[in-house]
Amino acid sequence: MRQNRGMLQPRTMEVLPQSARRRQLASVDLGSNSFRLMIVDVHESSAGPQMKLLDQIKETVRLGAGLDQQRELSAQAQQRALEALRRFSERLRGFEPDSVRAVATNTVRVARNSAKFLGEAGAALGYPIEVIAGREEARLIYLGAAHSLPQDHQLRLIVDIGGGSTECIVGADHEPKRRESFQMGCVSLTQEFFPDGRITKQAFRKARLFCGEQLAAQVRAFRRLGWNYAVGTSGTVKALWQVGSAEFGYPRITPESLARIEAMALQAGSAGALNAAGLKPERQAVFAAGLAVMQAVFEEFQISTMAYCDSALREGILHDLLGRASGADRREITISHLVERYRMDDTYGRRVAAVAGELLNALHDGQADAHQLQMLEWAARISEIGSFIAHADAHKHGGYIVANADLPGFSSTDQRLLSLLVLGQSGGLRKIRAHEPDPSHWLLVLCLRIAVILQRRRDGRQTPIRIRPSANGPASGWDVDLPQAWAAEHPLTVQSLEKETALWQDSRLFSQVAFNLI
């Protein structure tokens, strides 16, 4: 079969015996323009896990078009999204929770009313939806593309133009070296510069200038790193490549192909009249804006030619999900890097984590949520990160560092929880109230704080402490019990636990709080 020279081809997957162990994974990408569901079959082989595409569904939702000047997501856009997710839900019935990962990108990131929408969207899909930061989106895009590109050890520039943002990444093989997310996309720029569908030279010029300003602050750092070739991913890039190939015979995207496409768009004069070969009807409305973004990227990065790769965010989500299942969790790697970089005592952190996990399990009768236990462990391991700045108020410094650091693998929601736990490990509780945590997160804070008290001596000692939920469950209150004989030999620990209990009693977060010597 003849290979299309404009598209970089994925590596051939090996044929595996029917007896090989298999599992299905699914990714859901809530983009600013389209929602996408992808399902793959994972085969275990001697060469490692291999993925085979089973099903994919695309819905053009235009969520970003429902974002007004006040960054409020319109009821109509939300309804379109919920209807699409309900249809996805039917296809996902029967999937285990850890086999599905759904992520929301730029529009949900910036929407002021995203919290309520996310709750309804998760209920419609049947699985929780994570909001990911721009640089995390860039990492996942690169991960998806890298698994379809040759492992040639060369630096390559990956460009993904989405509905609300554009991600640019330089990396080699599976490892990104630099990644950035820019607030410019084909949907948002259509609203700003092509709102009535008219395509004019002035609109193109203004859109390109806007994009150039967005890129200018970061492009020098990318150039210093350099790259050997450029690759584009996702819908806008695919449309530009297909139109350039079908209309003008260009096998790849070039400055010349973009100029000829612009001339054709200007001649059409409007999105509705733009009937180019290779351009799908659902892409017409945002095509001109996507073209302007690409022209700015080519100019600022001084790109001479770009190939198209058909793997991006949704494939990256699947590879990240597969990594979690096979012991290569990017989040665990991130935490370990933090521990090493900030020279934290990981033995101490793991001891705090073990005690905190035992306490949380005791409150839930041995049935604590696995995700919460994992978050508690990671928070305990980096609990001393703020000491890198100063020992005084280290918990506050730590909370700030974790909230603002680049933490590959973590969703925005989980990063906020990590920050809350590091901040809340000591000191007063008022500062935590300001973050309006989920009620269940107060119990995580409680367990971490008690664990920090019990491990103050850093000697790994075992404490015969017992924590019991109240009759109405842990959300209503709890009791801490210590044997009197042990308490008599550890007056400092007892004093600290008494103060901690009094602090929680005064907070009135729980109806019942007690510290008992038995």
| Residues 161, 120 share a domain | no
Distances (CA, A) of 441 to 142, 325, 437: 33, 25, 6
Is 349 within the bounds of a domain?
Answer: yes
The closest of 388, 389, 354, 393 to 374, measured between CA atoms, is: 354
Q: What is the DSSP string of 323-346?
A: HHHTT--HHHHHHHHHHHHTT--H
Mean pLDDT computed over 318-324: 90
Strands 155-161 and 166-172: antiparallel
Backbone angles phi, psi at 36, to 5 degrees: -135, 135
Is 169 within the bounds of a domain?
Answer: yes
End residue of a domain, out of 419, 444, 462: 462
End residue of a domain, out of 422, 439, 462: 462
Instruction: State the pLDDT confidence band at 307, using cuts at 50, 70 and 90.
Output: very high
Mean pLDDT computed over 467-486: 91
Is 364 within the bounds of a domain?
Answer: yes
Q: What is the DSSP string of 185-233?
A: -HHHHHHHH-TTSB--HHHHHHHHHHHHHHHHHHHHHHHHH--SEEEEE
| Residues 282, 193 share a domain | yes
Is 37 within the bounds of a domain?
Answer: yes
Q: What is the pLDDT of residue 518?
A: 85
End residue of a domain, out of 248, 282, 311: 311
Distances (CA, A) of 152 to 111, 155, 173, 229, 364: 40, 9, 7, 11, 50
Edge to edge, the sheet with strand 473-482 lists 466-470, 473-482, 512-517
Q: What is the chain's mean pLDDT, rounded?
A: 91
In tens, the pLDDT along 335-346 reads 999 999 999 999
Residue 15 has pLDDT above 60, yes or no: no
| Residues 200, 302 share a domain | yes
Q: What is the pLDDT of residue 16?
A: 36
Mean pLDDT computed over 456-466: 88
Count of domains observed in the chain: 3
Domain that holds residue 272: 136-311
In tens, the pLDDT along 95-123 reads 999 999 999 999 999 999 999 999 999 99
Q: Measured between alpha carbons, how far is 62 from 433 in angstroms, rounded to an integer?
A: 36
Q: What is the pLDDT of residue 5?
A: 46
| Residues 291, 172 share a domain | yes
Q: What is the pLDDT of residue 46?
A: 67
Instruction: State the pLDDT confidence band at 30, using cuts at 50, 70 and 90.
Output: very high
Residue 13 has pLDDT above 70, yes or no: no
Is 5 within the bounds of a domain?
Answer: no
Q: What is the pLDDT of residue 325?
A: 77
| Residues 458, 446 share a domain | yes
| Residues 207, 220 share a domain | yes
pTM: 0.85
Q: Measured between alpha carbons, how far is 223 from 166 in angstroms, rounded to an integer?
A: 17
| Residues 75, 164 share a domain | no
Centre a 10 Å sphere on the Cβ of residue 72 and count the other Cβ atoms it contains. 14
Least-confidence region, from 3-7, 112-116, 127-131, 415-419: 3-7
- CA triple 192-232-229, angle to 5 deg: 130
Mean pLDDT computed over 187-210: 96
User: Between residues 222 and 50, which one has the greater pLDDT?
Assistant: 222
Q: What is the pLDDT of residue 20?
A: 41
Instruction: State the pLDDT confidence band at 324, using cuts at 50, 70 and 90.
Output: confident
Q: What is the pLDDT of residue 73?
A: 94
Residue 4 has pLDDT above 70, yes or no: no
Beta bridge mates, 501:
none
Is 256 within the bounds of a domain?
Answer: yes
Least-confidence region, from 49-53, 188-192, 226-230: 49-53
| Residues 431, 335 share a domain | yes
Distances (CA, A) of 196 to 189, 191, 192, 269, 493: 12, 8, 10, 11, 69
Mean pLDDT computed over 88-93: 97
Instruction: State the pLDDT confidence band at 371, using cuts at 50, 70 and 90.
Output: very high
Q: What is the pLDDT of residue 122?
A: 96
- What are 96's two structure tokens? 């285990």
Q: What is the pLDDT of residue 7?
A: 54
Mean pLDDT computed over 426-436: 89
Q: Measured between alpha carbons, how far is 357 from 443 in angstroms, rounded to an integer?
A: 11
Is 501 within the bounds of a domain?
Answer: no
Mean pLDDT computed over 128-136: 94
| Residues 435, 338 share a domain | yes
| Residues 164, 115 share a domain | no
Q: What is the pLDDT of residue 500?
A: 93
Centre a 10 Å sphere on the Cβ of residue 202 and count the other Cβ atoms it contains. 9
Residue 2 has pLDDT above 60, yes or no: no
Structural contact between residues 312 and 139, judged by C-beta atoms closer than 8 angstroms: no
Mean pLDDT computed over 446-450: 96
Beta bridge mates, 198:
270
Q: What CATH number does the domain containing 392 carry? A: 1.10.3210.10
Mean pLDDT computed over 310-324: 92
| Residues 290, 183 share a domain | yes
Distances (CA, A) of 401 to 224, 385, 428: 27, 8, 19
Mean pLDDT computed over 460-488: 90
Is 473 within the bounds of a domain?
Answer: no
The closest of 403, 450, 443 to 426, measured between CA atoms, is: 450
Residue 271 has pLDDT above 70, yes or no: yes
| Residues 129, 140 share a domain | no
Residue 355 has pLDDT above 70, yes or no: yes
Q: What is the pLDDT of residue 6?
A: 57
In tens, the pLDDT along 256-265 reads 999 999 999 9
Q: What CATH number does the domain containing 72 carry? A: 3.30.420.40
